[in-house]
Amino acid sequence: MDSAVSDATASYGGTAPLVAGFAEPDEDLKAWQTDRTRAPVATKIVVAGGFGVGKTTLVTAVSEITPLQTEALMTQASEGTDDLSDTPDKVTTTVAMDFGRITLDDDLVLYLFGTPGQQRFWFMWDDLVRGAIGAVVLADTRRLKDCFPALDYFESCGLPYVVAVNHFDGSERFDTEDVREALTIPAHIPVMIMDARRRISAIETLLALVGHALDETPE
């Protein structure tokens, strides 16, 4: 991964925390954290999608560390810019990124980077995506059009991605093939139904992405 995270991980040894927040005092250390010969593969994943689709929720649900969040209170300044009609209870928004970490195996660690959803923050995407092996594009069936910019972005840059439909309470349920047709997703790209609030559901989505990325770029 092309970031300071991978550099730090590669040089890590011993039992003391590497960076504040990366290892809690009472955290059970993994074998690779105490054995220099078993350094893990550090993999970067991007979580993208429209405004209020559940990106922060997903990162928070799966992260084994306290996630880094850049949430800011929404004010009257965003009226007319951010559509809250389908998310009336939303009071904060991501203004930079979300960051979390999850260990999937003794030698595989995923670093999760959640992108901001609003168009005015899209200029950050190039930096957030650099070095990633793939992306999860979250979709809300009440406003599927909001995920088109993310789909177009990853298609244009050639980054492997999967589409995960995050069903909200009260939203109409659709089959994955209906979503695939509505978004014109190619047949080889996984489309799944998930709940960003449930850890196991989010992990299944991440595993699907890792498998798809390996199929797309096996080297």
Structural domain that includes position 133 = 40-216
The number of folded domains in the chain is: 1
Query: Domain with 81 in it: what CATH number?
Result: 3.40.50.300
Q: What is the pLDDT of residues 38-84, one digit of tens each?
A: 567 889 999 999 888 899 999 999 999 988 865 555 445 445 554 55
Residue 32 lies in a domain: no
Q: What is the pLDDT of residues 108-158, one digit of tens each?
A: 899 999 988 566 556 677 888 999 999 999 999 988 998 999 999 999 999
Measured from the Cβ of residue 41, the count of other Cβ atoms closer than 10 Å reads: 14
Residue 117 lies in a domain: yes
Model-wide pTM > 0.85: no
CA–CA gap between residue 212 and residue 151 (Å, rounded): 16
CA-wise closest residue to 134 among 40, 34, 58, 207:
207
Residue 31 lies in a domain: no
Residue 59 lies in a domain: yes
Residue 24 lies in a domain: no
Residue 3 lies in a domain: no
Q: What is the pLDDT of residues 150-204, one digit of tens each?
A: 999 999 999 999 999 998 777 788 899 999 999 999 999 999 999 999 999 999 9
* CA 13 to mean position of chain CA atoms: 27
